[in-house]
A and B are shown apart, each in its own frame.
Chain A
Amino acid sequence: MIEFRQVTKRYDSDHTALRQVNFHLDRGELAFLTGHSGAGKSTLLKLIMVMERPTAGEVVVGGQQLNSLPKRQIPYIRRHIGVVFQNHQLLFDRSVYDNVAMPLEVMGASPNDIGRRVRAALDKVGLLSKEKMNPMQLSGGEQQRVGIARAVVNKPPVLLADEPTGNLDPALSADIMKLFTEFSQVGVTVLIATHDIALINEMGRRQLTLDHGRLVTSSSAAATGGVRG
């Protein structure tokens, strides 16, 4: 579903964010992306979202080669990728419902359709009773779940998460991870960038580790994460 072939991303002559990164994630796979600050995790996610273009190599998402994608087409690619942010990027000038509805609105879905799907997504994250509230009234964990509902409301085949549990306590983090696992079980490819080693070890899933822009681990044996290659 997501494939990187010899991807290099250089910002300017002295800063190379990614060096010849190769990996492949299948449909329904859940993987963690780890590494120190500045190792290139965000750059890797941005390449998938087409917020950045690779300097060399190929990025393929859902069979679509992103390098040569015209700018006009970018929005249509993003509709197939759900994203969850650490700071959740919710809009506080509208209700929970309207926040979650945004991906459907940009697609031009009918109001009935939007209502049905938004409620299904909110139900999935356990916030159906709070659809009319302003996100500001919710707790951090609830806000993060609203962000997840928005990311999955249009059933994208790919779900990216950037430090989704960064501000949450372990119990809430476990809840969130359970949600991600459920999505991967129905065929969504999930890639989670995180620092939370304890969480990764607990999950025992595939781990992609970046070190100064190089992919050093791409194994499914997650526990140690120190193999250099």
Chain B
Amino acid sequence: MGSDSRQKTDHRRGAANRAKSPLNAQARSYLDHHRKVARDSARRLWRTPVASLMTWAVMGVALALPLALLLLLNSLQGVSAGWESSARITAYLAMDVSLEQARAAAEEVDTDGRVFSVQLVERDQALAEFRASSGLSDALDFLDENPLPHTLLITPQDSARSAEGVRALVAFVEGMDGIDRVQVDLGWLQRLNAMTDILARAVWALALLLGGAVILVIGNTVRLAIENRRDEILVAKLVGGTDAFVRRPFLYTGAWFGLGGGVVAWLLIQMSLWWLNGPIERLAGLYRSEFALQGPGFDGAMALIIIAMLLGWLGAWLAVKRHLDDIEPGDIAGG
């Protein structure tokens, strides 16, 4: 009786195992197969090192070029952000504001936490300076009264030296009594920004074009690989390999090409940085700028390699899509 029931449970457990294991086994053999195909594709690339290196080099150059421009652009934007912070705010007081009121306004601005320093330029002093620097003293003599207002020159605190910080400070000063007009001289900065915008678009267009070129290069390389492995594809199709099965090794090949290309591009970038950094530091020093070329960093390098692999995969996919259908086993069964 006891042994009978044990047998029953054994049997049930066996059935459960059997029901579960095929799925498990299938998943495992699927992953095994992927690993095997990936390893095999990589080994094939190693077996023709010169050809693979050439492809990697082509990909590397094509990827390094837009990446280098992007990095340059990033550095430039960093510069303009830096210079934005050094902006000084000029506030012109209304003409009917007296000197006492102007001093009070300067004190009020100075108490604001965001303000590093305030300098009050009195109207008489301003006129004297203008007279001295412009050479228009004769013309100025004809004027009945001083046309210049009192002026506050405001330098923001470091912490407020962002575009938003400056804008907020400008709004605050504009809101005060007796302030006629507030000016931040950012014109040249806006021009620089406009230029970097144009440059950014050009760089992205270039990146798209070169990305397309990478896809084509990989597509062509994979097309040759497909030709080389024609017999294998035929046999795989004959014995019932699905399209996905036949495609897989070539997709891995494309991804490995991408990996190599990404690494080459990263090396090229690092080498260029190392080569350019000295002269650029010297030049920036002459301009008293903190400009420095920034490398891609770890995240950037990872993104570069992942994008390169995706491009390789995509190129391979296009080639496979186009050429695998041409290889049908119809023609091996002769006569």
Residues on A facing B (Cβ under 8 Å): 37-38, 41-42, 45-46, 49, 51-52, 75-80, 83, 85-87, 89, 91, 93, 102-103, 105-111, 150, 162
Contacts and interface: CB of A to CB of B under 8 A. Distances in A.
Given A106-B242, A108-B26, A108-B29, A91 B237 contact: no
Contacts of B175: none
Given A49-B329, A91-B231, A93-B232, A106 B240 contact: yes
A103 B330 contact: no
Taking each of B25, B29, B32, which has the highest tally of chain A beta carbons within 10 Å of its own beta carbon?
A: B29
B33 interface: yes
B245 A91 contact: no
Contacts of B26: 108
Dominant SS at the B interface? helix
Nearest to A107: B240
B332 interface: yes
User: Interface residue tally of chain B, by bracket?
Assistant: 20 to 34
B333 A45 contact: yes
B330 A46 contact: yes
Interface in B1-45: 25-26, 28-30, 32-33
B329 A75 contact: no
B239 A150 contact: yes
B328 interface: yes
A83 B240 contact: no
A162 B240 contact: no
Contacts of A107: 240
10 contacts: A51-B330, A75-B242, A75-B243, A78-B239, A78-B240, A91-B232, A102-B241, A105-B33, A106-B241, A107-B240
B332 A89 contact: yes
B210 interface: no
B235 A102 contact: yes
Contacts of A42: 333-335
A102 B234 CA distance: 12
A93 to B, nearest CB: 7
Contacts of A37: 335
B302 interface: no
Nearest to B29: A110
Contacts of B241: 75, 102, 106
Contact of A106 (B239, B330, B332, B335): B239
A194 to B, nearest CB: 12
A46 B335 CA distance: 11
A-B pairs with the 7 shortest C-beta distances? A79-B240, A78-B240, A106-B241, A103-B239, A110-B29, A51-B330, A75-B240
B236 A102 contact: yes
B238 to A, nearest CB: 6
A193 B243 CA distance: 28
Nearest to A111: B32
B32 to A, nearest CB: 6
Interface in B297-332: 328-330, 332
A121 to B, nearest CB: 13
A162 B328 CA distance: 17
Contacts of B240: 75-80, 103, 106-107
A149 to B, nearest CB: 12
